A = this chain, B = another copy of it.
């Protein structure tokens, strides 16, 4: 028999977990489904300094606190992949990779984003063999080694600083000659003797030796002059794409695949909501994701019960 809920939340990051808190406190029969570990991008973040009320906390610790909270008022949590979300008459159907089929009055998509690939030769083949998209997960494998971070935003800056804990040297490759990240992080990077900033370059090819990353070929964006830097690890932080394949058949995504929602976080399909980084929005932060989750859960409550 199909399992029925009043709300299914797809994704267990800050948006999904906050939605679970609000929905369960409002008395909705709620299930949160997460594809990997709860916490979303939090568990891939070393130190967080802008979660209000906590001057500095490890991402995984904050994730754990939020997960405990999210299930404290009766919301269920399950761990598996959702492959399709669709509307069938007044219900929303959630199909899972394990062939489970769930039915709900409403669904909040809170799947977040996935780090973007460099799209250069050998990247895919060497992922896990020196190429990593998560400094927090894999940084410790590069103790006393040379690593290269690609990107000029806050993530690239923060992960470069994080990697100084392990690596003896960090190259930071940025396309422009200025960073996009915040000034405090910039100053820390610029003042760190382990970090060498290589400006106005892009990566064009990864070179391996014995099946592991050995060097990165880069190119100057103006002169097109090429150079090779020896490196044991490569951490691309050049942006992210939304995880919305489960709703790609519905007319609720913008041209980049982000969800288009109103100020109640509802898409144009009644009963399907979006919350957090997966939404088309101005600022993607833990606190803005959490707020989206609260708003979406409140709107679901009104939709389902009134």
Contacts and interface: CB of A to CB of B under 8 A. Distances in A.
Given A282-B299, A288-B295, A53 B73 contact: no
A283 interface: yes
A72 interface: yes
14 contacts: A17-B52, A21-B49, A25-B49, A25-B184, A26-B182, A26-B184, A27-B182, A50-B294, A54-B69, A282-B295, A285-B291, A285-B294, A287-B287, A291-B292
A65 interface: yes
Contact of A290 (B52, B184, B281, B283): B52
In terms of DSSP, what is the predominant structure of the interface of chain A? Answer: helix
A127 to B, nearest CB: 32
A20 to B, nearest CB: 10
Contacts of A288: 291, 294-295
A298 B284 CA distance: 11
Nearest to A21: B50
A66 interface: yes
Given A264-B282, A294-B283, A62 B53 contact: yes
| This chain's copy number in the assembly | 2
Most chain B beta-carbon neighbours within 10 Å: one of A25, A53, A264, A288: A53
A99 interface: no
Interface size range on A against B: 35 or more
A295 B293 CA distance: 16
B184 A27 contact: yes
Most chain B beta-carbon neighbours within 10 Å: one of A69, A287, A288: A287
A50 B25 contact: yes
